[in-house]
Amino acid sequence: MSEETVSKNFIELEIDNDLSEGVYTYVCTRFPPEPNGYLHIGHAKSILLNYGLSVKYNGEFHLRFDDTNPTKEDMEFVESIKADVLWLGVNWKEHLYFASDYFDDMYNCAIKLIKKGKAYVCDLSADEIRQYRGTLKEPGKDSPYRNRSIEENLKLFEDMKNGIYADGEKVLRAKIDMASPNINMRDPVIYRVAHASHHNTGDEWCIYPMYDFAHPIEDAVEKITHSICTLEFEDHRPLYDWVVRECEFDPAPRQIEFAKLFLTNVVTGKRYIKKLVQDKIVDAWDDPRLVSIAALKRRGFTPESIRNFVELCGVSKSQSSVNYAMLEYCIRDDLKLKKNRMMAVLDPIKLIIDNYPEGQIEELIVPNNLENPELGERLVKFSRELYIEREDFMAEPVKKYFRLFVGNEVRLMHAYFVTCTGYESDSNGNVTVVHAEYDPQTKGGNCETRKVKGTIHWVDAKSAIKAEVRLYENLIVEEKGVFNPADGSLNLNPNSLTVKKNCVLEDNFKDSNALDSFQFVRNGYYCIDSRDSKPEALVFNRIVSLKSSFKL
Find how far residue 541's CA is from the centre of its chain. 16
Last residue of a domain, one of 228, 243, 258: 258
Domain boundary among 258, 291, 316: 258
The answer on 358 and 272 residing in a single domain is no
The CATH number of residue 532's host domain is 2.40.240.10
- pLDDT the model gives residue 245: 97
| Predicted model pTM | 0.91
- Scored b (16 or more CB within 10 A) or e, 444-462 reads ebebeeeebeebbbbbbbe
* Same domain? 331 vs 371: no
φ, ψ (nearest 5 deg) of residue 227:
-90, 95
Q: Give me the domain span that covers residue 311.
A: 264-335
Q: Does one domain contain both 353 and 474?
A: yes
Number of domains in the chain: 3
Question: Which of 316, 335, 354 finishes a domain?
Answer: 335
Q: What is the pLDDT of residues 162-178, one digit of tens each?
A: 999 999 999 999 999 99
pLDDT in tens, 211-261: 999 999 999 999 999 999 999 999 999 999 999 999 999 999 999 999 998
Low-confidence residues of the chain: pLDDT under 70: 1-7, 548-552
The predicted pLDDT at position 321 comes to 86
- What does the pLDDT read at residue 3? 43
Output the pLDDT for position 552: 55
Long-range contacts of 375-378 (CB under 8 A, 24+ apart): 375/340, 378/340, 378/508
Q: How far is CA 309 from CA 203, 299, 328, 518, 552, in A?
A: 43, 16, 9, 20, 11
The pLDDT assigned to 217 comes to 98
Same domain, 140 and 164: yes
Neighbours of 333 (CB within 10 A): 14
- Residue 489 has a pLDDT of 84
> Quick one: DSSP state of residue 483?
B
- Residue 184, pLDDT score: 97
